[in-house]
DNA sequence: AAGCAGGGCAACCGCTCAGAC
DNA sequence: AGTCTGAGCGGTTGCCCTGCT
């Protein structure tokens, strides 16, 4: 059975929000809250918008505590470390960056950090875009002929589905229902790359309110069997013999981890 | 000056999950 | 137990802006 649409698509406005719409939504939510029902909210205030659209607009733009742009180096490093450790769990990453939204971080990663981290070895997005914008263009790297492609559909045995779910749950998120943690091979199994305070943070985060999760996290953060699976390819990559050369700009923790991972 | 390519960001889409019934 | 519905997530797309030729 098909799913009923969340709103009447024919009577819903799409596209950029006008200042008036912003003001209307903002003032209502500030005064009354969302009422726990985003779907009904637009009708209440006379907005011709989908409830989901209102929610997104509020969360990503209108919330009072939102920061836009101007990512600090610390934030860069944190995003990189987290991405490399847990993959594209933007909501989890955002939870560690006050004032940042998952969308913001996602965009920032896709447009800036990816390039910082991997340099210019990237499939030309522009070309793809003209030919037909498809999945490959946004989430694929090209290694410049080395045969490495990250397509975001790898599987990761290191992070158990339960662990990801629990962490995700802490920030109100979801994970895929197939019980498999879909991640790029690159980001697959590298919890050792998480900075120590963050590992502790994640561990306590999950275990404090979620009994039983600690076992998973213990497993996750066990470093006696540290492997840099997924990073293996870097070992043979010409020009990346020393991780300090990967990028002078980001992820010192990644570089440290690779150059001296046994210290963990 | 015009046209094109590429970058950046806001917003939408489709999916899953969790809770209510 | 099964179904329905809203919330929330990650991926993708649209569009505007800027820089280059």
Chain C nucleotides with an atom closer than 7 Å to a protein C-beta: 4-15
Looking at the predicted structure, is the pLDDT value of residue A102 above 80?
yes
Lowest model confidence (mean pLDDT) among A2-11, A74-83, A92-101: A2-11
Looking at the predicted structure, is the pLDDT value of residue A99 above 60?
yes
Sequence-separated (6 or more) residues with CB below 8 Å from residue A60: A66, A101, A103, A104
Q: Which residue's alpha carbon is at the shortest distance from the C1' of C11?
A: A135
Chain B nucleotides with an atom closer than 7 Å to a protein C-beta: 5-14, 16-18
**CB-based contacts with strand B under 7 Å?**
A 3, 13-17, 49-50, 52-53, 56-57, 60-61, 68-69, 103-104, 106-108, 110-112, 115, 124-127, 129-130, 165, 169, 174-179
Q: What is the pLDDT of residues A163-211, one digit of tens each?
A: 444 444 444 334 333 333 333 333 333 333 455 555 554 444 444 333 3
Task: Determine the distance between A67 (CA) and B8 (C1') in angstroms.
Answer: 17
Task: Determine the distance between A116 (CA) and B17 (C1') in angstroms.
Answer: 34
Looking across all nucleic acid strands, the nucleotide with the smallest C1' to CA distance from residue A126 is B6
Q: Quick one: which of A187, A229, A225 has its CA closest to A92? A: A187
Percent of chain A whose predicted confidence (pLDDT) is above 90: 0
Please provide the DSSP assignment of A33-51 as one string: --TT-TTTHHHHHT--S-H
Task: Determine the distance between A25 (CA) and B20 (C1') in angstroms.
Answer: 27
pLDDT value of position A166:
44
Task: Determine the distance between A164 (CA) and B14 (C1') in angstroms.
Answer: 21
Looking across all nucleic acid strands, the nucleotide with the smallest C1' to CA distance from residue A107 is B9
A7, A13, A16, A20: CA torsion to nearest 10? -100
Cβ-based burial of A87 (10 A; exposed 0-12, middle 13-18, buried ≥19): buried
pLDDT value of position A68:
78
Residue A10: band (very low, low, confident or very high) from pLDDT cuts 50, 70, 90? low
Domains and CATH numbers, chain A: 10-62 (1.10.10.60), 73-119+152-263 (1.10.10.60)
pLDDT value of position A52:
84
Percent of chain A whose predicted confidence (pLDDT) is above 70: 41
């Amino acid at each position: 059975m098909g799913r009923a649409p969340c709103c009447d698509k024919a009577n819903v406005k799409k596209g950029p929000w006008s200042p008036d719409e912003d003001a209307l939504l903002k003032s209502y939510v500030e005064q009354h809250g969302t009422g726990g029902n985003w779907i009904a909210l637009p009708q209440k205030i006379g907005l011709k918008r989908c409830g989901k659209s209102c929610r997104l607009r509020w969360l990503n733009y209108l919330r009072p505590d939102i920061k836009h742009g101007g990512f600090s180096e610390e934030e860069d490093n944190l995003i990189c470390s987290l991405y490399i450790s847990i993959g594209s769990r933007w909501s989890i990453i955002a939870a560690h960056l006050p004032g940042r939204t998952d969308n913001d971080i996602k965009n920032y990663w896709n447009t800036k950090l990816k390039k910082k981290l991997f340099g210019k070895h990237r499939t030309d997005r522009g070309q793809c875009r003209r030919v037909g914008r498809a999945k490959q263009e946004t989430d694929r790297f090209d290694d410049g002929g080395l045969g490495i492609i990250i397509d975001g559909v790898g599987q990761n045995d290191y992070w158990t589905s339960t662990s990801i779910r629990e962490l995700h749950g802490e920030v109100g998120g979801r994970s895929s229902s197939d019980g498999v943690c879909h991640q790029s091979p690159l980001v697959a199994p590298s919890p050792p790359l998480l900075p120590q305070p963050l590992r502790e943070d994640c561990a306590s985060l999950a275990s404090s309110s979620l009994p039983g999760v600690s076992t998973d996290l213990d497993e996750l953060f066990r470093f006696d069997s540290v492997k840099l699976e997924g990073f293996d390819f870097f070992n043979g990559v010409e020009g990346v013999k020393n991780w300090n050369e990967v990028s002078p700009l980001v992820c010192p923790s990644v570089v440290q981890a690779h150059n001296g991972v046994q210290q963990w």
